[in-house]
Each structure stands twice: as structure tokens, then as C-alpha cells.
Amino acid sequence: MNGKHITKLGFTNTSIGLALAAAQLREDTGLGRQAILDELSAVKSQPAAYQTGEYAALAHELLAQQTHTAFHAADALRPAALPYAQFGAELIEANARAQMDVAMQLPIARAGALMPDAHVGYGLPIGGVLATENTVIPYGVGVDIGCAMHLSVFAVPPEHLKTAEALHLLQKHTRFGAGIGFERRERLGHAVLDEAAWDEQPVLRRLHDKAAEQIGSSGSGNHFAEFGAFTLSAPEAGLEAGTYLALLSHSGSRGFGAQVAGHFTKLAESLHPALDTSARKLAWLDLGSEAGEAYWQAMNLAGRYALANHEQLHARLSRALGEVAALSARNSHNLAWKETVNGEELIVHRKGATPAAAGQLGLIPGSMADPGYLVRGKGYAPALGSASHGAGRQLGRKAAQAALSKSVVSAYLRDRGVTLIGGGVDEAPQAYKRIEAVIAAQSELVEVLGEFRPRVVRMDSGSEDI
DNA sequence: ATGTGC
């Protein structure tokens, strides 16, 4: 018995040595060569039946190889990306497109689209829409699960609220920054904190107290709360056309959602060790698996929690104003939904994309000093019923810090009559694409109903205030 | 995006 006999049976790599060792043990019992080769052949075709005895080590190696091969086959990328529509392609950088191309090579991908505010993100680009079959990609949703917009329009003129008072109200009723929450005696309860789901997963149970502490707060980066003038161009939901005082906010699921995202993306990566490195951050979870179900539950809880954050912010400020919103709208723009796409039920991931089904209201902000828009979706199929979630960055954070200064940002704000609390150069209006161009690039996707012009804005301080 | 890590 030698290596030649073994390789002839089709054993490779580590299994050759293990087969030889097992054959030696069988020879020691007096068994003949042909009988041993027959046994080896049987072990090779049915390793699961030989997990004990002389062939155990070989059988385990063969089983491991089988599993590995299966992983490779199931995770192999398509040789070419599936086609997808891009809106405002001239506004989208090549590296964001390259990321989308990788996503469209995933074996689970079915359809996709790139919005005009698209730019590079982890895994799926921001402004990317991706439909998959019975699977969910944690980084196809993003770190800030459920990040959302909320607008309250009050039936009073914008001048009703003086700048000094707006500053005071924002300072008093909003909280910004990583790790920030409300002081215990200031906290408001919310039904979302009493949901049964918190007790159904260790990761959720562990995060409940943090969620209770941070509810009603806003984060860092591009999150904001701002008072401004909202102009409605035609009557809508009982409100006459005109210009009104309004409150617009952008916030997500805070530390809770970020921890959920981190937990499940790590889990997804561990389940797809064979996935090509270019797609590592697009590792998915099967919705038929326990892990997939757990993510779906956690993601939707984080989505409801993010909306509850906005509800509390708007409730505090409306109450302080003594006004009730005459018109309000809100939408999540980092989430996955079960939707019918071309007659098939798929999981539609929107990572920095506004749901824009026919008739659906959505909010697309510009920057700290540029207009934001209330839009109505047109349910445009090539966009998978989506629109942009904002203007999108044209300069990354570091590039913005290097290219811009406090003085050019201050001048931009002054020219537009915007007063800012906090904010950093990395969030400068000049770091963003021109919202007018981004809106113009999606006329097939949404209809503009109204325009919000920011007047008094609060953001996190970042590294340095402007 | 988040008060922290392949």
C-alpha cells in the first residue's frame, strides 16, 4: 500500500496521509490490500458512516472538505454583475458604482438600483438599493439601522418663532452626540421600550437600558434637528398652500442599532468564510435560519425605535411651542422590507434610500444650509420604488476637513441666514452634492410637494464647532 | 453611524 493507491481513489491533500495511516491500522489487523482499498472507497463515498473506528480521522477530514466545498459553491460570486439602473449617473463616483457592481454579483442578488446621492459605504454603497431572495445583508441595511427623517409643519408663519427662542428650544429639548442620552429625570417612556422582543434575544436584552437612556436623542455625523420655513406648493392633507414654520429631524437607532448591526454582521461573516474578500462586508443571513430571523426581529425593533426617537423629539418641541403639527411626514431610509418586485417577493434593502412607492410621502434633506424636500413617490420600477435619501457626499469627512475651513462654512451659512449650534467642517454644505441637481436627477422617481429651508440648526459638535 | 477595535 502506498500513496499511489490512495491518490488513484481520488484522495487529495490532507486526506492522503490520513487514508494511508488508516490503511496501515487495517493492515495491522491482517486485512488484505484490495479489501482495504474497497473500505477506503466506501469511506470516501459515505464518510458520515465512518465517524468512529480506524477511519474516524479520515472521515472527519472528508466531511470538513465537503462542507467547505459546499460553502464555496453557495457563496461564489456571479461572473458578471446583474444589470441595474443608475439615476444621475454623472453625479455618482466610479468607486460607488464598483461597490454596487460587487453587490450585483452576489448569488443572492436579484435586482438593484443606484440613487443619485450614492457614495461609498461599508458593503453596499450609501444610496444603494438591493433586492435579494429570502436573505438579508446586515451591511445592506447599514450601521445606523432604521435611520429616518421626520417633518412637522405647524399652521403658523415661520416668523412666529424668533431665532433666539428656536436656539433655546433646541438646546433644551434635544441631545446630540455619540454616547449621549437623556438625564434620568428627563426621560420619557415609549411603547417600543415595552415590546416583548427585548426579552427574546440576549443581544436585545443587553441593549434595553442603553435604548431607554438614549430614546429621544439624536446622534452625531449628519444627524440634525432644525427649525425652518416650509413652503407647500399645493394643498396637501388639509393644509393650504403657503409658507409655514416647520421642524425637520434626522436621526437613527443610536447605540442600540449600531450594536445590533455589529453583532449580526460579524455573525453573517462567520457563516460565509468562503465569500470573496471584495464582498466580505456583504455577508448575508438566510431568513429561514435562526440567525436570519433574529436579525429580522432586531432590525425591525431598531427601525421602530428610531421612529420613536423622532416622535419624542417632535413631541417635546411641539409641546414647548404650544403647537400641534398640521402636517407631518416621516420615513426610514436605512432598512430592509419584504416587497414584491416584478411579481416575486424579495427582500429590498435600502441603505440611504427613501421608499418611494406610488403615493408614498418621503423627505429628502439637502445639508445644514440647503433646502430639503417633501416628495411623493411614483413607484418607479427600475428604481425599485426608491429615491435618494439626501444630497449625498461629494467630499469624504477627511477630504472635507482638508479642503474647507470654518470661515467658508460660516460665510455659506451667513449668506443663507442659517444659525447653527454645533456642526463640524466635515458636515459643511460644500461637502455635499448640490441638492437641486440630485432632485432633478430623480424626476421619474418622485414628485416634489414642498420645500423646507433651514433657519436654526442643531447638530453634534463633531471634532470642532463652526 | 457608534463612545471602540483583525
> Closest residue by Cα to the C1' atom of nucleotide B1?
A144
Q: CB of residue A88 closer than 7 A to nucleic acid strand B?
A: no
Q: What does the pLDDT look like over A351-366, one tens digit per residue?
A: 999 999 999 999 999 9
Query: Who's near A80: CB < 8 A, 6+ residues apart?
Result: A105
CA distance A350 to A333: 6
- Residue A459 burial by Cβ neighbours in a 10 Å radius (0-12, 13-18, 19+): buried
Establish whether the CB of A177 is closer than 7 Å to any nucleic acid atom in strand B: yes
What is the band of A74 on the pLDDT scale with cuts at 50, 70, 90?
confident
**What is the pLDDT at residue A13?**
86
Put simply, whether the predicted model's pTM sits higher than 0.75 gets the answer yes
Question: A66: Cβ–Cβ under 8 A, 6 or more apart, which residues?
Answer: A47
**Distance, C-alpha A401 to centroid of its chain:** 25
Give the C-alpha separation, A48 to A43, whole Å.
Answer: 8
Confirm if A142 and A120 have CB atoms less than 8 A apart.
no
Residue A466 has pLDDT above 80, yes or no: no
**A462 pLDDT band (50/70/90 cuts)?**
low
For A198-241, what is each residue's pLDDT tens digit?
Answer: 999 999 999 999 999 999 999 999 999 999 999 999 999 899 99
Burial class of A254 by CB neighbour count within 10 A (0 to 12, 13 to 18, 19+): buried
Strand B atom within 7 Å of A126 CB = no
Say how far A258 CA is from B5 C1', in Å.
14
One-character DSSP codes across A210-250: HHHHHTT---STT-EEEEEEEEESS-BTTBPSEEEEEEEEE
Q: Is the CB of A255 under 7 A from strand B?
A: yes
**CA triple A283-A148-A398, angle to 5 deg:** 70
DSSP A5-54: HHHHTT--THHHHHHHHHHHHHHHTT--HHHHHHHHHHHHH-GGGGSSST
- Note the pLDDT of residue A67: 79
Which of A46, A45, A48, A52 lies closest to A22 in space, CA to CA? Answer: A52
Q: Grade residue A70 by pLDDT with cuts at 50, 70 and 90.
A: confident
**CATH topology (fold) of A148-259+294-322+360-458:** tRNA-splicing ligase RtcB (3.90.1860)
**Short-list A101, A116, A141, CA closest to A283:** A141
List the single protein residue with the shortest CA to C1' distance from B6.
A266
A144: the nucleotide nearest its CA (via C1') is B1
| Residue A284 contacts residue A135 (beta carbons within 8 Å) | yes
- pLDDT higher than 70, residue A464: no
Q: H helices then E strands: how many in chain A?
A: 13, 17
Q: Where are the beta strands (DSSP E) in A37-101?
A: 85-86
The C-alpha atoms of residue A105 and residue A77 are separated, in whole angstroms, by: 5
Q: Reduced to 3 DSSP states, what percent helix, strand and coil does chain A have, rounded to the nearest 5?
A: 45, 25, 35
The nucleotide whose C1' lies nearest the CA of A180 is B3
Distance A257 CA to B2 C1' (A): 9
Nucleotide B1 C1' to residue A393 CA (A): 15
- The whole-angstrom separation of Cα A426 and Cα A386 is 27
Using CA atoms, how far residue A268 sits from A41, A179, A287, in Å, is: 36, 26, 12
Contact by Cβ (8 Å): A297, A264: no
The reply to whether A334 Cβ lies less than 7 angstroms from strand B is: no
Strand B positions within 7 A of protein Cβ atoms: 1-3
Tell me what pLDDT residue A463 has. 59
User: What percent of chain A clears pLDDT 70, i.e. is strictly above it?
Assistant: 99
Whether the CB of A143 is less than 7 Å away from nucleic strand B comes out as yes
pLDDT tens-place string over residues A11-50:
988 899 999 999 999 999 999 999 999 999 999 999 999 9
Protein CA at A143 to nucleotide C1' at B2, angstroms: 8
- Residue A288's pLDDT is what? 96
Q: What's the pLDDT score for residue A322?
A: 98
Enter the C-alpha cell of residue A427: 458636515
- Say what the pLDDT of residue A272 is: 93
- In whole angstroms, B2 C1' to A106 CA is 28
For strand B, is any atom closer than 7 Å to the CB of A144?
yes
Residue A246 binned pLDDT confidence (cut-offs 50, 70, 90): very high
pLDDT digits (tens, 9 = 90+) for A248-280: 999 999 999 999 999 999 999 999 988 999 999
Closest of A150, A135, A122 to residue A332, by C-alpha: A150
User: Structural domain boundaries of chain A?
Assistant: 3-74, 148-259+294-322+360-458
A44 Cβ within 7 A of any nucleic strand B atom = no
Task: Say how far A346 CA is from B5 C1', in Å.
Answer: 35
d(CA A417, CA A368): 11
pLDDT recorded at residue A465:
61
- How much is the average pLDDT of A242-253? 98
Query: How far in angstroms lies nucleotide B1's C1' from the CA of residue A34?
Result: 64
Q: How far is the CA of A292 from the C1' of B2 (A)?
A: 23
C1' of B4 to CA of A425 (Å): 23
pLDDT higher than 80, residue A166: yes
User: Closest protein residue to B5 using CA and C1' atoms?
Assistant: A262
